Structure formats: structure tokens, C-alpha cells
Structure 1
Amino acid sequence: MAISSIDGCIGCGTCVQSCPTDVIRMDPRTGKAFIQYVADCQICHLCRMYCPVDAISITPDKSIPVVVSWG
């Protein structure tokens, strides 16, 4: 599993909008984000970086350094 949890989600949807592989979805019952397609996560860290409440954590075994391209 790449993303270990979305505990503390406030339901803003920022993670869903920032995910380039569309693995995170909003649960219509709870109004909070959940990981729909765990195996498809590319561990780009965008959801974690854009989450306004630091609700997303990535498991250490799958975490890779954040790569920032400066052109």
C-alpha cells in the first residue's frame, strides 16, 4: 500500500483534484476522501503536499524522496 491513511480528512477534495492518477475518491456517504485504487498510486506526494490539514501519510516502505525539477 502506498498511501497508508487519510485520517483527519476534512472533505475539501484537494487530494482528489491534485492526484494525477485518479486513485483518490470522495465517499458520498461520509464526504471524506478514500483510496479507491491503491495499486495504481505512483507515490508522487502531490496529495500529501497539497492537503491543508496533513491528513495523508505514506508508508515508509513505499515512500520515495520528493523530486522537484527546476527546469
Structure 2
Amino acid sequence: MTIKSINGCIGCGECVQSCPCDVIRLDPKTGKAVITYAADCQICHLCRMYCPVDAIEMSPDKSIPVIVSWG
């Protein structure tokens, strides 16, 4: 698993919208983000970068540094 946890989620949905692999979904009961397909995570860090409250924590054992391809 690459996304370790989502703590402090405010339910804005930014992580869901930013994830290109559909790893995170909003729980219909709580309105908070949940990790649904952790094995599909490509470690792009977009969910973490777009989260306005810094609620997403990546697992350090599988995380890679953010690589920016534009200059």
C-alpha cells in the first residue's frame, strides 16, 4: 500500500478528482475520503499535493520523491 492514511479529511473531494488511478473515493455515509484501491496507486502524489488540509500520508517504504517534469 502506498497511501498510508487519510486523517483529518474534510470531504472536499480534491484527492478523488486529482487521482488518475481512481484509488480514493468519497464514502457515501461519512462524506470523507477512503482508500478503495490501494494496489492501483502509482505514487504520483497528486492526492497529497491537492489536499487543502494535508490529510494524506504516504507510506515511506513505498513512496518515491515527487518528480516534476516541467521546468
Which sections of structure 1, spanning at least 5 residues, go unmatched? none
1:17 corresponds in structure 2 to 17
Q: Which runs of 4+ in 1 moved over 2 A?
A: none
Q: Percent identity?
A: 80
Pairwise CA distance, 1:70: 1.7
- CA distance, structure 2, for counterparts of residue 15 and residue 50 of structure 1: 6
Unmatched runs of 5 consecutive residues or more in structure 2: none
Residues matched between the structures, number: 71
TM-score by length of 1: 0.97
Root-mean-square deviation over aligned CA pairs:
0.8
Letter in 2 for 1:33: A
Give me the TM-score of the superposition, normalised by structure 2.
0.97
Q: Distance in 1 between matches of 2:2 and 2:52?
A: 20
